[in-house]
């Protein structure tokens, strides 16, 4: 897509459909003013997607968010530092539908 002129990464996010996950990439061509949405279907039990950091530097925080909040492994990234959750004791990432609210999975800030 970058070779086709889609030079701006607008957003990366994820969606949990229970039986599978989807990574969603929103790209923009600044010359033709076109937008393209790419969806990558991922296995719910072992979600993994390749990093796009080499193509789009803006992917850094988006990939960190997907990893932390959805439990998606980003292939090609060595050490993804936490972005939103300081400490996490839960077994399920908080934006997965299998996450159970109300448990003491998080540490309250002082």
Domains located in the chain, CATH noted: 1-110 (3.30.460.80)
pLDDT in the model for residue 103 = 61
Q: What is the pLDDT of residues 82-92, one digit of tens each?
A: 777 766 666 78
Rounded to whole angstroms, the Cα distance separating 106 from 68 reads 13
Q: What is the pLDDT of residues 10-56, one digit of tens each?
A: 999 999 999 999 999 999 999 999 999 999 999 999 999 999 999 99
Instruction: Specify the range with the lowest mean pLDDT, choosing from 11-20, 59-68, 88-97.
Output: 88-97
Q: What is the mean pLDDT of residues 54-60?
A: 93
State residue 62 phi and psi, 5-degree precision.
Answer: -65, -45
pLDDT at 107 exceeding the cut of 90: no
């Amino acid at each position: 897509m970058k070779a086709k002129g889609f030079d701006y990464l607008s957003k990366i996010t994820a969606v949990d459909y229970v039986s599978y996950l989807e990574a969603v990439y929103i790209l923009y061509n600044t010359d033709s003013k076109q937008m393209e949405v790419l969806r990558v279907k991922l296995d719910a039990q072992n979600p993994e997607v390749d990093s796009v950091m080499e193509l789009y530097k803006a992917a850094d925080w988006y990939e960190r968010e997907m990893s932390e909040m959805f439990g998606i492994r980003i292939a090609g990234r060595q050490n993804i530092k936490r972005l939103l959750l300081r400490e996490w004791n839960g077994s399920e990432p908080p934006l997965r539908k299998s996450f159970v609210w109300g448990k003491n999975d998080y540490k309250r800030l002082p």
